């Protein structure tokens, strides 16, 4: 059986995450951020329970510094959900499995998939600079 939680590296990021048909949950962490690997275990449980809905991976922020910079995280551990290479959701800190499932709307994604529709949770991340652009558009500038 293939491992459900993949190690994300610069070498496999595009193939594994960007080209993924399903949304991708990535745990950005380092050994000192998640003592005992609690979040990694939760991610493994989610990957097993929601394999039909999402893919899952971990990214070591110390070993993959260039890739980590792209996510502009300010705290570790951070969980992100991506669809087609775009960050939909980001959550920082030590979280419960229930909170992750609820915020990332995994049950809703599953429900829609069973009906034959694609559903992606609303994005809660706006890249830096985009907020100013939106403000200018609203002001008619």
Predicted local confidence at residue 59, as pLDDT: 96
Cis peptide preceding 124, ω within 30 of 0: no
Helix (H/G/I), strand (E/B), else coil: 128 = coil
Divide the 141 residues of the chain into consecutive groups of 10 and give the mean pLDDT of each group: 85 94 94 86 96 96 93 91 90 93 94 90 61 50 55
Predicted local confidence at residue 44, as pLDDT: 96
Task: Give the pTM.
Answer: 0.83
Predicted local confidence at residue 119, as pLDDT: 86
Domains of the chain: 5-138 (3.40.30.10)
């Amino acid at each position: 059986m293939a491992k459900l939680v993949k190690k994300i590296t610069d070498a496999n990021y595009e193939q594994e995450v960007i080209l993924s048909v399903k949304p991708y949950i990535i745990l950005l962490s380092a050994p000192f951020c998640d003592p005992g690997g609690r979040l990694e275990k939760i991610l493994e449980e989610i990957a097993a329970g929601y394999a039909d809905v999402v893919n899952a991976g971990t990214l070591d922020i110390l070993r993959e510094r260039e890739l980590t910079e792209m996510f502009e995280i300010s705290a570790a551990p951070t969980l992100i959900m991506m669809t087609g290479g775009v960050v939909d959701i980001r959550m920082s800190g030590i979280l419960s499995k229930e909170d992750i499932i609820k915020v990332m709307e995994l049950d809703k994604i599953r429900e829609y998939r069973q009906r034959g529709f694609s559903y992606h949770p609303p994005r809660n991340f706006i890249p830096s600079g985009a907020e100013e652009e939106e403000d200018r558009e609203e002001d008619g500038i």
